[in-house]
Amino acid sequence: MGTSKTAHSDSSNKKKRGPGTLATAYLVIYNVVMTAGWLVIAVGLVRAYLARGSYHGLYYSIEKPLKFFQTGALLEVQSEDSVLLFVVAWTVTEIIRYSFYTFSLLNHLPYLIKWARYTFFIVLYPMGVAGELLTIYAALPYVQKTGLYSITLPNKYNFSFDYHTFLILIMISYIPLFPQLYFHMMRQRKKVLGHVEEYSKVE
Cα dihedral across residues 196, 199, 201, 203: positive or negative? negative
Closest-CA residue to 140 (of 71, 82, 56, 197): 82
The residue type at 2 = G
Q: Please, what is the end-to-end C-alpha distance for the chain in angstroms?
A: 45
pTM above 0.75, yes or no: no
User: What integer pLDDT is reported at residue 38 of this predicted model?
Assistant: 87
User: What integer pLDDT is reported at residue 100 of this predicted model?
Assistant: 96
The answer to whether residue 147 scores a pLDDT higher than 70 is yes
pLDDT tens digits, one per residue of 37-49? 889 889 998 998 8
The answer to whether residue 194 scores a pLDDT higher than 50 is yes
Residues 6+ apart with CB under 8 A from 91: 38, 41, 42, 45
The residues annotated as belonging to the active site are 125, 132
Cα 179–Cα 182–Cα 184 angle in degrees, nearest 5: 105
Q: Is 20 helix (H, G, I), strand (E, B) or coil?
A: coil
Q: At residue 161, what are phi and psi to the nearest 5 degrees? A: -150, 125
pLDDT tens digits, one per residue of 61-80? 887 787 776 644 445 555 67
